[in-house]
Amino acid sequence: MKSNSTNKMNFFAKRPKTPAELVKAVKDLLTPGGRLDGASGNIDGRKKANEELSKLLVQMKVVLYGDAETDASPEATAQLSQEAYNHDVLLLLVERIGGFEFEAKKDVTQIFNHLLRRQIGSRFPTVEYIAKKPQIVFATLKGYANEDVALNTGMILKEMLRSESLAKILLYSEQFYSFPAYIENTTFGISCDAFGNLKETLTKHKPMVAAYLDANYDRFFSTYTTLILSSNYVTKRQSIKLLGEILLDRANYSVMTRYISNEANLKMMMNLLRDKSRNIQFEAFHVFKVFVANPKKPEAIESILRRNKDRLLSFLKEFHNDKDDEQFNDEKQFLIVQIQQL
């Protein structure tokens, strides 16, 4: 039996904040010019505000996920979600995450991703909310410019890209074309994360992406070629590999037909076949084979292949002969036969 002193302690214990109070308290801290910005010029006050924010985010996480003592309540989750939408707290969290404590940054990612996955019947309320506030998607992508938060915002972006409506917002935006800068001009880890989300944008929702590539062919491929010709080995290899996946996807048939009818693209792949890296040669082979295998080659493409016929045949006969890969060897043999028949 609990003692009276324990009962008194429980009686005077601080009542946990309701979801509405939590969201309001977070918003008050995040609003520009508030305590988190050290509005009073007090550095200690700013530090305390940051600690307070960290505690509030932990409490929000408990509402959404539960903890050792309490299970998550659907009603409380719904209330917290609705309050977050009403007060535009999601945008503030992403825009201001750079100034948060280390654990608080991780908590923001978990809160965001839980809300993004929240489903009512066939609806995803947070996805619907963000679709009307595209600046949240763009602020998340912009996180790649800050190495202190890039991997946190990258995880949120990846979760967003699972939704076709949010992936479409990003793909059809001007901001989509900032991906190469984030891939080329950041640290290795951030570059790989950014490339992973570029790939997700271009491969997850196939019919939508095919329509985009059809309508924006020239701009997309002139930008994408900069990645294929990157001086960074990893970027170059990943980009050629992804190009092969895009071209060989049935949904992108008309894009593939257009790409393999272009002489400059063929010449680029023939040069990459002779790259000093064997892995890059191998990825280039998988794009090159699409040009050769095309039964309706334009005259300009056939002419290049015919002019280089002898050199291509002697090159391919020696190409990666040590590779124990039955499919690759079959494809190589098929190309040799196609080129011989030119």
CATH number, domain of 106, equals 1.25.10.10
Burial of 178: CB neighbours in 10 Å, binned 0-12, 13-18, 19+? middle
Q: What is the pLDDT of residue 7?
A: 52
- How many other CB atoms sit within 10 Å of the CB of residue 175? 17
Please give the model's pTM, rounded to 2 decimal places: 0.89
Question: What mean pLDDT is predicted for residues 75-94?
Answer: 95
Helix axes 43-65, 74-86, angle to 10 degrees: 140
Residue 307, domain member (yes or no): no
Q: What is the pLDDT of residue 133?
A: 96
Q: What is the pLDDT of residue 42?
A: 61
Residues 48-71 have pLDDT tens digits of 888 999 999 999 999 999 887 778
Q: Which two tokens stand for residue 67?
A: 């903890």
Residue 252, domain member (yes or no): no
Contact 95, 108 (CB under 8 A): no
Residue 188, domain member (yes or no): no
CA distance 340 to 226: 33
Residue 290, domain member (yes or no): no
**What proportions of the chain, in percent to the nearest 5, are helix, strand and coil?**
75, 0, 25
Q: What is the pLDDT of residue 13?
A: 53
Residue 262, domain member (yes or no): no
Residue 309, domain member (yes or no): no
Q: What is the pLDDT of residue 201?
A: 97
Residues 244-285 have pLDDT tens digits of 999 999 999 999 999 999 999 999 999 999 999 999 999 999
CA distance 195 to 214: 22
Using the predicted structure, report yes or no on whether residue 1 has a pLDDT greater than 50: no
b/e for 292-323, b at 16 or more Cβ within 10 A?
Answer: bebeebeeebeebbeebeeebeeebeebeeee
From the list 91, 99, 20, the residue with the least C-alpha distance to 60 is: 20
b/e for 27-43, b at 16 or more Cβ within 10 A?
Answer: bbbbeeeebbebeeeee
- Taking every pair of Cα atoms in the chain, the longest distance, rounded to a whole number of angstroms, is 97
CA angle 192, 194, 200 (to 5 degrees): 105
> Which helix (H) or strand (E) covers residue 302, if one does?
helix 299-307
Question: What mean pLDDT is predicted for residues 89-115?
Answer: 95
Identity of the residue numbered 290: V
Residues 159-217 have pLDDT tens digits of 999 999 999 999 999 999 999 999 999 999 999 999 999 999 999 999 999 999 999 99
Q: Which two tokens stand for residue 190?
A: 């951030």
Residue 22, domain member (yes or no): yes
Burial of 123: CB neighbours in 10 Å, binned 0-12, 13-18, 19+? exposed
Instruction: Tally the domains of the chain.
Output: 1
From the list 216, 174, 224, the residue with the least C-alpha distance to 198 is: 224
Name residue, tokens 């079959």. 330
Strand partners, 120: 123
Residue 10, domain member (yes or no): no
State the residue range of the domain holding 125. 16-133
